[in-house]
Amino acid sequence: MLKPNPPGRPSDLTDALMEHILSFVEISHIDSQVARLSGIAPQRISTWLKLGREHMIMDTRSVYAQFAEKYDKKMGNSIHVLLERMCALEGYQSVAWMLEKCHREDFGNDGSDIKELRQLFKDITLGKELQNGS
């Protein structure tokens, strides 16, 4: 693990704690719930993620950057699994609702994203129907 940028107080974010937090990302797709499930204050995780994303932009490899990178990757994979489930279901509304509520910045009901998601679902469904009918 990379050490946080010296000087300063050592970070509370250890390898073990990082893996503990990351283990809850796939269970709950909501940052505050991930924090609560892992027993960490939501503000603390938000601070670590904010620092990590800032460090990533500045190309500073710190423990926070490593955490933010792993967290974002895990969350992205988790969203991908939800999208796959949605495509497999005939009634996709519950998964679409969860994505819209939990990841508003990516799947919020701003119109264009929802239309694109619905079109993707229709295309996949049509492809499965054509495949089954052939």
Q: How far apart are CA 56 and CA 53, in angstroms?
A: 5
Going by pLDDT thresholds of 50, 70 and 90, the confidence category of residue 60 is confident
What per-residue confidence (pLDDT) applies to 134? 55
What per-residue confidence (pLDDT) applies to 65? 92
Would you say residue 43 has pLDDT above 70? yes
Q: Average the pLDDT over 23-44 and give the result.
A: 87
Whole-prediction pTM: 0.64
Q: What residue spans define the domains of the chain?
A: 15-133
Number of H helices, E strands in the chain: 7, 0
Q: Average the pLDDT over 64-73 and give the result.
A: 92
Report the chain's C-alpha Rg in angstroms: 18
Q: What is the pLDDT of residues 116-126, one digit of tens each?
A: 777 787 778 77
